[in-house]
Structure 1
């Protein structure tokens, strides 16, 4: 999946051994799959996935977000809500990996935009 979108290797999670810098780490404990974020020995977040497919969604949600953030920063347009370009790019990348993953992301984005729609940035940012 990472090869399909040409994901940078440093965006991929570690397995079983956290870096300790907030980078995601995949952990499998028995029949449970986790994506864990740990920094300086403190666990900040642990996402439980019911199966390998859901774990892969979590992993690639993170990776595509980072890649889309890089893209948006390089292609920022004055007067446009930066989330627009970022979320469109993330959805495009996720669609290359898996249509069901893209649909799940599309639903989440719709829910976010319902609560916090796109806005023009304040003039001092333009």
Structure 2
């Protein structure tokens, strides 16, 4: 049986607190707002993590695993925090992802140690497609 939106929010709040961030740093939606904010729907006995804007769906991930859904939710939050960290600690002339990506992995590991490897693999896949390039920032 799938967890409902309130149960998922409770898990998210626990993860957020464990990682040292304020409760309600992530507020889940179960219907589209229309501004690109992701929402969760429960279709075909699966979790659907959907991004849509003004009625146009541009991303949908589907899973039967609550852990996978939580990873998707929390990785978005962690990436936003890591990007803000990079802005606050920017090094001129260097690809900002050199700061963002390790911070992202650190935050994900703090939220759930089991997520560290998945986060590392995600970053390795990104870098395989688009390696660091400091020359873009000179």
TM class by smaller structure = 0.7 to 0.9
- 2:82 is the counterpart of 1:75: no
* 1:47 alignment partner, SS class: strand
Q: 1:28 to 1:34 in 2, by over 3 A?
A: same
Q: How far does residue 13 in structure 1 lie from its aligned partner after superposition?
A: 4.8
Instruction: Determine the C-alpha separation between the residues in 2 that align with 1:64 and 1:48.
Output: 20
Q: Deviations over 1:14-59 (max 9, x none)?
A: 3312221101112222520011111112111111122111100111
Instruction: Determine the C-alpha separation between the residues in 1 that align with 2:18 and 2:84.
Output: 17
In structure 2, list runs of 5 or more residues that go unmatched.
Answer: 1-14
User: What does residue 121 of structure 2 align with?
Assistant: 107
8 Å contact 1:13–1:24 — kept in the other structure? no
Instruction: Determine the C-alpha separation between the residues in 2 that align with 1:77 and 1:69.
Output: 13
* 2:109 alignment partner, SS class: helix
User: What does residue 75 of structure 2 align with?
Assistant: 61
Instruction: Determine the C-alpha separation between the residues in 1 that align with 2:23 and 2:53.
Output: 21
8 Å contact 1:16–1:27 — kept in the other structure? yes
* 2:105 alignment partner, SS class: helix
Instruction: Determine the C-alpha separation between the residues in 2 that align with 1:49 and 1:7.
Output: 27
Instruction: Determine the C-alpha separation between the residues in 2 that align with 1:7 and 1:91.
Output: 19
User: What does residue 7 of structure 2 align with?
Assistant: none
Q: CA RMSD for the aligned pairs?
A: 1.9
TM-score normalised by L of structure 2: 0.79
In structure 1, list runs of 5 or more residues that go unmatched.
Answer: none
